[in-house]
Every structure is written in structure tokens, then in C-alpha cells.
Structure 1
């Protein structure tokens, strides 16, 4: 039995050695062709931003319950959503950003966080600002490659909030789309 098996293995090896060159010859193409393609890349001017105004809510007198105030990014008007704190006036403004880039390109703005905490100068107390809103999140840059955006938000004044000046900052990103 052992001899018979060894003889079959030898025949299989001879058969494979004979057929292998034929298989390699059949695998190569009969005729080769080539084609070329052009490559094009357009580099757009980097988009940049310049802050032209800060988001300023104005002056308040605290109440005994938490209060929420919003500045509308389109009108700049302050509205009270709830609570018994009083808006006393003072300077108010929406944040304003000037965007520059490639003319007639569409851009989109976004904020880095959903909310920020602003801190009292000289203290540890905070207030929350959230619901950042844009007059329009997406705009087309004009023929000069410029466009301005206004940003409003919502201020949460705590019950019996400690008096003082509260400050903070938030990030805005701009991208072509």
C-alpha cells in the first residue's frame, strides 16, 4: 500500500510541473491597453473670523427664584422667559462675527459647547449661558468673500445670585460646506 501511495504522489508532481507553465501562459493578457486621466485640484482661500462685538446681557437685579433671559440674534432684543429677576437695562448686544474667505462660497457656523459657565470677578459664583443661536447658521459669502453673523443666547440668573460682574467666553467655528 505504501508503494502505491508514493507512486501516485510522484505522478501528481509530474502532472503539476507539466500544467503549471500552461496555466501561467493563459493568465497573461493577449493585449494590454493604457488610459490616462487628468488631475485637477482647486485650493480655496482659508476661511477666517474676526469678532466685532461681544455677547452682553446688560444689568440685572436678582430675585428669589431662578430666572431665564434670552437675547434674540436677529433683533438684539432681550426677553424674560421666567423667574422674578429684573432686567435693569445697561449695555446689551449680540455677539457679532465677520467671516472672510472665498467669494460666493457657503459657510456654516457652530459653537464648541452647548453651554458655558461665566464666573464672578473676584469670586467663585457662576451663571450659565446656553442656547446659543445664530441669526442664520449658514450663509453665502458675498462677492468680496465676506459675511457677518450675529449670535444670541440664553442667560440663567440664579435665585439670590451674588452681585458682581460675571465674565466668560465661548468658541465659534466656521467651515465651508
Structure 2
């Protein structure tokens, strides 16, 4: 009988301990709302008018100052249309930074039958930009590869520029 009483008391004691133990804490919930990041083309990239020759060459437009240079068998012309670096407006949350992604592979531009490669895309700023007063300006340049005796014509194509918040 003493054993039954002892076991009963012990079970009751452990059961009471299990019910009397509890703990509570408070956690907070929060959120930060920011303006969406958008990018808009202000000026398209244009290599200007170039004269071909029997030798291949390249034309590069700088994103930093918009200057144009040539190497190899191409001659730069002052005839219209004139060259221009690409200009983008990036809008977002003031004080935030963003990363810039440019084409990593060749982009083809065409006159409808013939093609040329555009590559070595660069930007200013690079590799990140900052939003000041809700906006930022992003400049993009690249290199145009002109084949020997490249066919005449107006060549066009597109390329993607992506920005993401850091």
C-alpha cells in the first residue's frame, strides 16, 4: 500500500510540474516599403556613320564621356546620324544602390540581310549605381565589330540592360 501511495504521489507531482511550466515572449513584426526600381531609355546607343574598307575594324562608344574611337579598317564620319552613348533613367528609393547587368555575349545588329556584332558593353557607373533624390542616370557604351567590306545599310538591333536593388 505504501508503494502504491508513493507511486501515486510521484505521478501527481510530475503531472503538476508539467502543467505549471510555461514561458512567454513577445516578438515584433516589421516591414520596409520602398519604391519599385524602374529603368527607362532616354537615348539609344548609336555608333554613328562609319566608312568601311577592305580591312575589318571596330568602333567603340565610351559610356563615360560619349566619345567615339575606331581601330583597324574603319573611318569615322561626321555625317548624320551622329554617334551617342545609351542613356537610361533609373528611378527608385533614395539612398539605395542597384547592380547593373549588361549583355555578356555578342549582340547582333542587322540591315535586314547582313549582320554585325556588338560586344564589350560597359557602363558608367559600374558595377553599381546609387539612387539620389529618387533617380539616377546610367550610361552604356559598347564596341561595334565591322567586317572587311561590310555591306552598306542602316543596321539595328536591341540589347537588354537590367538593374536590381542590392
Match of 1:155 among 144, 155, 164: 144
Gaps of 5+ in 1: 1-21
Residue equivalent to 2:22 = 32
Report how many aligned residue pairs link the two structures. Answer: 149
Q: Does 1:95 align with 2:70?
A: no
CA RMSD of aligned residues (A): 1.8
Q: Which residues of 2 match residues 9-24 of structure 1 at below 5 A? A: none
Paired position in structure 2 for 1:51: 41
| 34 and 87 in structure 1: CA distance in 2 versus 1, 3 angstrom threshold | same
CA distance in structure 2 between the partners assigned to 1:126 and 1:29 by the alignment: 80
Cα deviations by residue, 1:101-151 (Å, 9 ceiling, x for unpaired): 11111122212443210011xx32100001111011212111x21110110
Report the 3-state secondary structure (helix = DSSP H, G, I; strand = E; otherwise coil) of the residue aligned with 1:42: coil
Name segments (4+ residues, structure 1) moved above 3 Å: none
1:117 is aligned to 108
Gaps of 5+ in 2: 1-10
The alpha-carbon deviation at position 30 of structure 1 amounts to: 6.6
Normalising by structure 1, we get a TM-score of 0.78
The equivalent position to 2:99 in structure 1, one of 108, 132, 144, is: 108
